Amino acid sequence: MTERATNPPVTEHATLYLHPDRNLALELVRATEAAAIRATPFIGHGDKNGADGAAVDAMRKFLGTVNFSGTVVIGEGEKDEAPMLFNGEVVGNGRGPACDIAVDPIDGTSLTAAGRRNAISMIAAADRGAMLDASSVFYMDKLVAGPLAVGVLDIRKPVAENVRALAKVLGKSVSEVSVGILDRPRHQQLIAEVRAAGAGTRLLLDGDVAGGIDAASYEGRLDMCIGIGGSPEGVATACAIKALGGLIQTRLAPGSDDERQRGIDAGLKFDHVYEADDLVAGDNTFFVATGVTDGNLVSGVRRKGPVIRTESIVLRARSGTIRRVVADHLAEKWLGDDG
Residue ranges of the annotated binding site for substrate are 107-109, 139, 184-186, 206-208, 230
CB neighbours of residue 186 within 10 Å: 12
**CA dist., res. 210 & res. 18, Å (int):** 29
* Binding site residue list for Mn(2+): 52, 76, 104, 107, 233
φ/ψ (deg, to 5) at 17: -120, 160
**CA dist., res. 140 & res. 109, Å (int):** 20
CB neighbours of residue 196 within 10 Å: 11
* Binding site residue list: 52, 76, 104, 107-109, 139, 184-186, 206-208, 230, 233
Q: Output the CA–CA distances (angstroms, integers) from residue 316 to 98, 219, 240, 241, in the order listed.
A: 17, 18, 8, 10
Q: Is the peptide bond before 8 cis (omega within 30 degrees of 0)?
A: yes
Half-sphere exposure at residue 24, Cβ-oriented, CA atoms within 13 angstroms? 33
> How long a stretch of residues is the chain?
339
Residues 265/277/127/288 CA torsion (nearest 10 deg)? 110
Rg of the Cα atoms in the chain? 19
**CA dist., res. 85 & res. 60, Å (int):** 7
